[in-house]
Chain A
């Protein structure tokens, strides 16, 4: 059990968000929601707290965006809300996703 993939799957800590999808991830089965957090100027925001809320608005998961602003979730087909908190402000987006990779863009701004 020394491969990074095995370590990630064993625990609950958020894996490296900028890493490529592990080869063990079966995209015929997984529903991946991934994308970039940007600020109002269009610059990538690293270190943002990105959370996935389910159809009822309940928290499902949270990751920290990579230095390049990348985040990724493994969810299920359906409706979700992706919400980001950062020192550059907050932002959220409702999405409908299907199996495979779903790419979204999230903008944060001070209210």
Chain B
């Protein structure tokens, strides 16, 4: 993968809003942003309502994902262009999700809503009507999804990348600072994880930094290119952003997103936790 096959610019997107075979999809946890104005022609996917199982703590299965995309009018051979707020966190999560279920052509809109708005590009409140399709998701590709046991075994062995803010890594905060801090899980990070906040990979306007800058950031942080990598955050959406950088922009092999992330790990009985700004020992 590379920038050319994974990312589109806002300028390109605005020129291609009506190109056949492209489907613009806004993905957010809070879809009131979409309702208040969105990129013309874009449909919405709700991170929680549409992508999480309503009962079990997991995301939707292959059949549910197929039904969702069929209902939204997305075909297997469409090119899906994802964007959203929160610096594309949830759009990156959806990108990872589309890849997990084997969708061939997916792109992220560089900068998401923020770049679009700062550029003063147009929004509409019109909801597009798309004809239903018959979408067939593939079996989930677990080569890009990490589970808890694998994460515990990766301590001191693989690259673990904690992409939360430095204060969350150290255990001084339990959640991103736009949320109340009282949480059930313990504070801290997975021992031996390096701290590379997702935000290091993004410019202030939400666009990704250049490949050269990105390679330097992760190299200097101590990411070992010869090892497999697992990225995590609190609920798996900021780490999707970093997964996207490492796998799709920098083309690293064997990068997984641990979507259970700190809400799961920090609640497990008996697993090791490191406190403070250093990675800690295995």
Are the CB atoms of A87 and B118 closer together than 8 Å? Answer: yes
Are the CB atoms of B180 and A74 closer together than 8 Å? Answer: yes
Any chain A CB within 8 A of the CB of B181?
yes
Are the CB atoms of A26 and B177 closer together than 8 Å? Answer: no
Contact of A11 among B29, B173, B183 (CB under 8 A): B29
B:111-142 near A, CB below 8 Å: 114, 117-118, 120
Are the CB atoms of B181 and A29 closer together than 8 Å? Answer: yes
Contacts of B256 in A (CB 8 A): none
Contact of A62 among B86, B167, B172, B234 (CB under 8 A): B86
In the complex, the chain A residue whose C-beta lies closest to that of B195 is: A58
Convert B169-202 into 0s and 1s, putting 1 for each residue whose CB lies closer than 8 angstroms to a CB of A: 0001101111111110000000000000101000
Contact of A73 among B30, B178, B199 (CB under 8 A): B178
- What is the CA–CA distance of A73 and B29 in the complex, to the nearest angstrom? 18
Contact sample, A vs B, 6 pairs, CB 8 Å cutoff: A9-B182, A13-B85, A30-B182, A59-B165, A63-B178, A75-B177
| Minimal beta-carbon separation of A51 from chain B (angstroms) | 8
* With A13-B28, A87-B118 already in contact, 7 other A-B pairs whose C-beta atoms are closer than 8 Å: A12-B237, A13-B85, A13-B90, A14-B85, A54-B167, A61-B165, A76-B172
Contacts of B280 in A (CB 8 A): none
| Minimal beta-carbon separation of A39 from chain B (angstroms) | 15
Are the CB atoms of B165 and A13 closer together than 8 Å? Answer: no
Contacts of A63 in B (CB 8 A): 178
Are the CB atoms of B182 and A14 closer together than 8 Å? Answer: no
In the complex, the chain B residue whose C-beta lies closest to that of A59 is: B199
Any chain A CB within 8 A of the CB of B205?
yes
- Supposing A64-B85, A72-B178 touch, asked if A11 and B117 sit within 8 A by C-beta, the answer is no
- Supposing A11-B47, A59-B199 touch, asked if A52 and B177 sit within 8 A by C-beta, the answer is yes
- What is the CA–CA distance of A15 and B85 in the complex, to the nearest angstrom? 12
Residues of B within 8 A of A (CB): 28-30, 32-33, 47-48, 85-87, 89-90, 114, 117-118, 120, 165-167, 172-173, 175-183, 197, 199, 204-205, 234-235, 237-238
- Supposing A11-B47, A11-B235, A13-B30 touch, asked if A61 and B178 sit within 8 A by C-beta, the answer is yes
| Minimal beta-carbon separation of B282 from chain A (angstroms) | 26
- Supposing A56-B166, A87-B118, A87-B120 touch, asked if A8 and B172 sit within 8 A by C-beta, the answer is no
In the complex, the chain A residue whose C-beta lies closest to that of B205 is: A85
| Minimal beta-carbon separation of A25 from chain B (angstroms) | 5
Any chain B CB within 8 A of the CB of A3?
no
Any chain B CB within 8 A of the CB of A100?
no
| Minimal beta-carbon separation of A15 from chain B (angstroms) | 7
Are the CB atoms of A12 and B235 closer together than 8 Å? Answer: yes
Contacts of A52 in B (CB 8 A): 177-178
Are the CB atoms of A14 and B165 closer together than 8 Å? Answer: no
- What is the CA–CA distance of A29 and B182 in the complex, to the nearest angstrom? 9
Any chain B CB within 8 A of the CB of A60?
yes
| Minimal beta-carbon separation of B173 from chain A (angstroms) | 6
Most buried by A among B48, B167, B178, B181: B178
- What is the CA–CA distance of A31 and B118 in the complex, to the nearest angstrom? 30
Convert A18-61 into 0s and 1s, putting 1 for each residue whose CB lies closer than 8 angstroms to a CB of B: 00001011100110000000000000000101011010101111
Contact of B177 among A9, A60, A85 (CB under 8 A): A60
Are the CB atoms of B172 and A58 closer together than 8 Å? Answer: no
Are the CB atoms of B89 and A61 closer together than 8 Å? Answer: no
Contacts of B47 in A (CB 8 A): 11, 13
Shortest beta-carbon contacts, A-B, top 4: A13-B29, A59-B199, A61-B177, A13-B30
Contacts of B172 in A (CB 8 A): 76
